[in-house]
Amino acid sequence: MADQKKRRRVGEKEPETLPFKSKLKPDSAILQIVKKLAEQEAAASTSTAKPLTLADLKLAQACREVSDLPLSSVQSRIEELVLSITHSIMSENGFSLTVPSRSAANQLYVPELDRIVLKDKTSIRPYANVSTVRKTAITTRIMQLIYQLCLKNIHVTKRDLFYTDVKLFQDQTQSDAVLDDVSCILGCTRSSLNVVAAEKGVVVGRLMFSDNGDMIDCTKMGMGGKAIPPNIDRVGDMSSDALFILLVEKDAAYMRLAEDRFYNRFPCIIVTAKGQPDVATRLFLRKMKMELKLPVLALVDSDPYGLKILSVYGCGSKNMSYDSSNLTTPDIKWLGIRPSDLDKYKIPEQCRLPMTEQDIKTGKDLLEEDFVKKNPGWVEELNLMVKSKQKAEIQALSSFGFQYLSEVYLPLKLQQQDWL
Amino acid sequence: MADQKKRRRVGEKEPETLPFKSKLKPDSAILQIVKKLAEQEAAASTSTAKPLTLADLKLAQACREVSDLPLSSVQSRIEELVLSITHSIMSENGFSLTVPSRSAANQLYVPELDRIVLKDKTSIRPYANVSTVRKTAITTRIMQLIYQLCLKNIHVTKRDLFYTDVKLFQDQTQSDAVLDDVSCILGCTRSSLNVVAAEKGVVVGRLMFSDNGDMIDCTKMGMGGKAIPPNIDRVGDMSSDALFILLVEKDAAYMRLAEDRFYNRFPCIIVTAKGQPDVATRLFLRKMKMELKLPVLALVDSDPYGLKILSVYGCGSKNMSYDSSNLTTPDIKWLGIRPSDLDKYKIPEQCRLPMTEQDIKTGKDLLEEDFVKKNPGWVEELNLMVKSKQKAEIQALSSFGFQYLSEVYLPLKLQQQDWL
C-alpha cells in the first residue's frame, strides 16, 4: 500500500501551487503566534479571578437563573414544593404553580455578561381553571417522573419521558415545553434533572477526559472521533496540551481536519455538533474552555446561520436563556469563513451562492441583536454579507483542492491572527 | 454521591414488581441460551466455507456487481477508460460512455443470496447529443476528481466533491447521482473511490478495533460510545468476546443500554445508525458479522419503517443494489419490537399509535417484497401490524419504567429465544 500511495506516473505534472500558499511562514513561526494567544487566554482567565454574575450587576432580583444541583437537592426541592402545595390545598387556597415566563418579552441580553438571560416575570398556573388544568397536571406529572429519576440516578431522553404517559402528554412538544418549565420552577439546569437530548457532537484531538469512569484519549480516536457524551455530569478529569479549541460548524470540515490530523501539526482540540448546537455539545465546549482555559476559534459557514450558530454557543438561545450561565462559552473568536474572506481568498464566483430573501432578512435581524452590535468587527462583516448578498459554505474552499482548508487556509488564518 | 444515589425516604414503598419480571430465569441460564446461539452461528459460518456468489447461481453475466478495489486499481481503470475513449475519438467514433442503469426496472431480488442486485441493462451516454452532453461532462469530471483522490490517498465527502465545480454540477443531487454511476462504470464500491458520507453511527460494548491506526476498546467508551469511522478501509483488527451483536434502530434505546452497560450483563456489541442506516454503519456491521462470526439481533420500532430499516441492513437498498454484496449483513434476526409483542407484553393502549394511511400502504407494499415473503414469520408479524393498524416505538416500553427495556424485555426475549 505504502508505495501505491505515492505512486505518480512519469510525465505527470506536480499539482499547481495553491493560492496564498507562498504567504505561509514555517509552522514553528505560526506556532509561536498561537502560543501567544493561548498565554493571553490563560492570563486573562486567572486575572479575572471570578466571572461576573447577575449579583455583581445587581440583577439577581430582576433576573432568573438556574444552577447545577445534585440529585439530592432536586429531590428536596420537589418535596418542598409538594409540601407547600399540600398546605395550600389544606388551608383551602387550592392548588396552583408559579411558573417563570419563557416568552420573548421576558428575555434580556446583558452586555456585561455577553449572554441572554431570563427576566423575573412569572405566571400563575391554577389547577382549578379550565384553561390551565391540563398544563398543571402535566407539570405535576413531569415532576413526579423526575423524582423517580432522582431515586434511580439514571438518565433518560425527552422521548422516554413522553412515553411514560402518552395519554396525558398527547404530543411530545407538550412534555418537552413543560420540562423547561420544571427546570425554571425548581431553579436547576435540565442536566440536573437527568433528562438528556440525543447526542450529536464529536470531538477529536489533544484532549483526555473521563466518560462515565472510562479514560478517553482523543488523539487515539482515529478519524471517527469520540462521540460527546449526552450527560455532562459523568464527564470529568479533562486535561490537554492543546493551544486552542477549534469549533467547527459541520462534519465535512471536521472530517477533513480529523483525517489530516490537523491537531498534530497545530496542537488543538477539534469539536463539532454537526450543525445546530445541541445541549450536550454546548455543555462540553464550555467545560473544556473553563477547565483548560483555552481560546476558542470558530469555523462556520459564511452565512447568517453560521453567525447564528456561533452566537448560540457564545451567548445562548432564547429558548433556554434561563440556563445561559451554564450553556454559553464566553469569548469565542470568529476565525472564518468570514464574508470578507470571500474576496480575500478569491473564492471563485461559482462557489458563492446568492442569498435568498429569507437569508437577507435573517442577516438584517442579526444586525439588530445586541450580541452582534457589541462587536464592531462582526457588524462590519455582517453588513458586508447583507450588502454583497453572497454566502459560502466552508466546503467552498475545496474548489482550491480538498486539503486547502487544512494546508493553507487555517494555517494562514492563525499566522495572520485573523480572528474577530 | 454514592450514598445519595441509594437514599430512600422512610415509608417510601419499594417500586412495584415489573410485569413479566417473575418469568426471568437467572442470568446464568439466559447466558447458556445465548452461548448456544453464538455457537450455532460460528458453526454455520465455518461449514458453509464460501458464501454463495452470483457466479454460483450462473448470474454473473446477467447481473452486475462491484467490488472493493485498491486505489491503484481504481486509478488503472480510469486510465484504461480514458485511453479507450481517446482511441474512439481518434478513430472518429466520437466519445460516449456506457453506463449501467440503476432504475427500478433493472433491480432483482435473488432469494438464494437474500439481497437485491443490479441487472445488466446499460445505457449509452454520448457526448455529442444535446440531451446527454451535460451528464457526460459531469461523469468525466467526477472521474477526474476521483483520480486526484487516488493520487493523494485522502477521503472527501460528497459535499466536497460538489464544491470543486459548482458551476458544472449546479446541484449536489447531480454530482451524487453520477458518483453512483461512476462506481458502476468502474466496477468498484463507493468506498474504493474514497468518497464517504457523513458519519452517524455509534458503537459500544465488547469490541476492539483499530481506527486509522488507533486501537479502540469499545468497553471503555463511557456512555457516548465510539463514533463509527466514515471510511471502512481504515478499520481493522477487530476482536471481541461478545456472544451477539445488538443492532438498535434509535439512539434513545442505545443510550439506555449503554448507560446500563447491558453489554457487561450479556456480552454483546451494541450498534446504532440513529435512524436510517448510513453506508458507514452498514459496512461496519457487515465487517463485524463477517470477521467475528457473531449472530446479529435487531431491535427496531414496531412499524413498517422499523422493518424497512432492518431490510436495508439485511438485503440492501435499491439505490445502491450494485454494491449489495458489500453493504448487506446476512441473516439478521428480528428480535423486537414485533407487532405480536404489543399484546404479549401488554403495552398499554395509550402508548400504541394508530397507523396512518401512508403507514398502512408502506406495510402492504412490504408484504409484496420478496425479501419479506421468504420469511413466513415476518409475513405473519407484518400481517398482524397491518390488520391491527397499530404501531409502537421501542420507547413505548418506558411506560413500565425507564429500565424495563434493559432489565426485563431484552433478557426475557433472549431467554425465550424469541427472534425470527
**How is residue B41 written as a grid cell?**
452461528
Decide which of A330 and A2 is more confident. Answer: A330
| Residue burial B246-283, b: 16+ Cβ < 10 Å; e: rest | bbbbbbbbbbbbbbbbbbebbbbbbbbbbeebbbbbbb
Task: Find, in chain A, the residue whose alpha carbon is nearest to that of B281.
Answer: A224
Pairing relationship of beta strands A244-248 and B226-227 according to DSSP bridges:
unpaired
Q: Which of B6, B212, B256, B404 best tests the A interface by mutation, with the highest count of A CBs <10 A?
A: B212
List, for residues A181-222, the tens digit of each pLDDT value.
999 999 999 889 998 876 789 999 999 999 988 999 999 988
Q: What is the largest CA-CA distance in chain A?
A: 95
Residue B322 inside a domain? The answer is yes
Q: Which of A157, A202, A397 sits opposite B255 (nearest CB)?
A: A157
Shared domain check, B395 and B252: yes
Closest CA to A32 of A266, A295, A288: A266
Residue A181 inside a domain? The answer is yes
- Where residue A13 falls among pLDDT bands split at 50, 70, 90? very low
Contact B166 A214 (CB under 8 A): no
The pLDDT, as a whole number, for residue A121 is 93
Contact A153 B5 (CB under 8 A): yes
Q: Is A123 helix (H, G, I), strand (E, B) or coil?
A: strand
Q: Which of B141, B156, B283 best tests the A interface by mutation, with the highest count of A CBs <10 A?
A: B156
Question: Looking at residue B69, which CATH number applies to its domain?
Answer: 1.10.10.10
How far is residue B307's CA from residue A129's CA, in Å, rounded to a whole number?
A: 45
Residue B207 inside a domain? The answer is no
Distance from A187 to chain B by nearest Cα, in Å? 20
Q: How far is CA A290 from CA A205, A267, A281, A326, in A?
A: 18, 18, 14, 11
| Residue burial A102-141, b: 16+ Cβ < 10 Å; e: rest | beeebbbbbeebbbbbbbeeeeebebeeeebeebbebbbb
Give, as one character, the DSSP assignment of residue B405. Answer: I
| Catalytic-role residue among B109, B163, B305, B409 | B163
A315 close to A268: Cβ distance less than 8 angstroms: no
Would the pLDDT of A7 be above 70? no
Shared domain check, B398 and B263: yes
* Dihedral, CA of residue B5, residue B7, residue B11 and residue B14, to nearest 10: 30
Give, as one character, the DSSP assignment of residue B392. Answer: B
The pLDDT, as a whole number, for residue A16 is 54
* Paired strand residues for B302: B392
The pLDDT, as a whole number, for residue B360 is 95
Taking contacts as CB-CB distances below 8 angstroms, the residues of chain B near A159 are: 252, 393, 395
Shared domain check, A397 and A267: yes
Contact A151 B8 (CB under 8 A): yes
B228 close to A224: Cβ distance less than 8 angstroms: yes
Query: Where is the domain boundary, A162, A178, A196?
Result: A196
Question: Looking at residue B38, which CATH number applies to its domain?
Answer: 3.40.1360.10
Shared domain check, B188 and B235: no
Shared domain check, A233 and A102: no
Task: Find, in chain A, the residue whose alpha carbon is nearest to that of B351.
Answer: A166
Shared domain check, A253 and A174: no
Taking contacts as CB-CB distances below 8 angstroms, the residues of chain A near B256 are: 156, 160
Phi, psi (rounded to 5 degrees) for B226: -105, 130
Would the pLDDT of A122 be above 90? yes
Closest CA to B146 of B102, B190, B187, B84: B190
Would the pLDDT of A177 be above 60? yes
What's the half-sphere exposure (Cβ side, CA atoms, 13 Å) at A246?
A: 32
Instruction: Name the binding residues of A for Mg(2+).
Output: 249, 301
Contact A221 B227 (CB under 8 A): yes
**How is residue B377 written as a grid cell?**
414469520
With residue B217 as reference, give the H or E element that holds it. strand B214-217
How far is residue A375's CA from residue A381's CA, in Å, rounded to a whole number?
A: 10
List, for residues B164-190, the tens digit of each pLDDT value.
888 889 888 999 999 999 999 999 998
Specify the amino acid at residue B243: L
Shared domain check, B69 and B45: no
The pLDDT, as a whole number, for residue A10 is 41
| Catalytic-role residue among A109, A147, A163, A404 | A163
Residue B73 inside a domain? The answer is yes
Contact B152 A403 (CB under 8 A): yes
Query: Where is the domain boundary, A173, A196, A219?
Result: A196
Q: Is the ipTM of this complex over 0.90?
A: no
B350 close to A167: Cβ distance less than 8 angstroms: yes
Query: Where is the domain boundary, A165, A196, A227?
Result: A196
Residue A98 inside a domain? The answer is yes
Contact B224 A230 (CB under 8 A): yes
Closest CA to A334 of A375, A369, A299: A299
Residue A7 inside a domain? The answer is no
Residues spanned by the domain of B128: 63-196
Distance from A51 to chain B by nearest Cα, in Å? 27
Residue A8 inside a domain? The answer is no
Helix pair B376-388, B304-315: axis angle to 10 deg: 160
Residue B393 inside a domain? The answer is yes
A345 among known catalytic residues: no
Peptide bond into A337 cis (omega under 30): yes
Taking contacts as CB-CB distances below 8 angstroms, the residues of chain A near B229 are: 222-224
Would the pLDDT of A12 be above 60? no
Shared domain check, B348 and B285: yes
Shared domain check, B283 and B375: yes
Contact B260 A395 (CB under 8 A): no
Peptide bond into B337 cis (omega under 30): yes
Q: What single string gives the DSSP state of each residue in A77-120?
A: HHHHHHHHHHHHHHTT---EEEEE--SGGGEEEETTTTEEEEES
Secondary structure in 3-state letters for B288-315: HHHHHCCCEEEECCECHHHHHHHHHHHH
Distance from A90 to chain B by nearest Cα, in Å? 22
Phi, psi (rounded to 5 degrees) for A311: -70, -30
Overall number of domains in chain B: 2
Would the pLDDT of A18 be above 90? no
- Residue B252's contacts (CB-CB under 8 Å, 6 or more residues apart) are A157, A159, A160, A198, B394, B395
The pLDDT, as a whole number, for residue A281 is 95
Shared domain check, B377 and B253: yes
Taking contacts as CB-CB distances below 8 angstroms, the residues of chain A near B228 are: 224
Instruction: Give the residue ranges of chain B where pLDDT is below 50.
Output: 1-15
Shared domain check, A206 and A242: yes
Q: What single string gives the DSSP state of each residue in B302-369?
A: BSHHHHHHHHHHHH--STTGGGHHHH--S-EEEEE--HHHHHHTT--GGGSEEPPHHHHHHHHHHHHS
Give, as one character, the DSSP assignment of residue A392. Answer: B
How far is residue B345's CA from residue B20's CA, in Å, rounded to a whole number?
A: 8
A243 close to A294: Cβ distance less than 8 angstroms: yes
The pLDDT, as a whole number, for residue B5 is 45
Would the pLDDT of A117 be above 50? yes
Shared domain check, A152 and A261: no
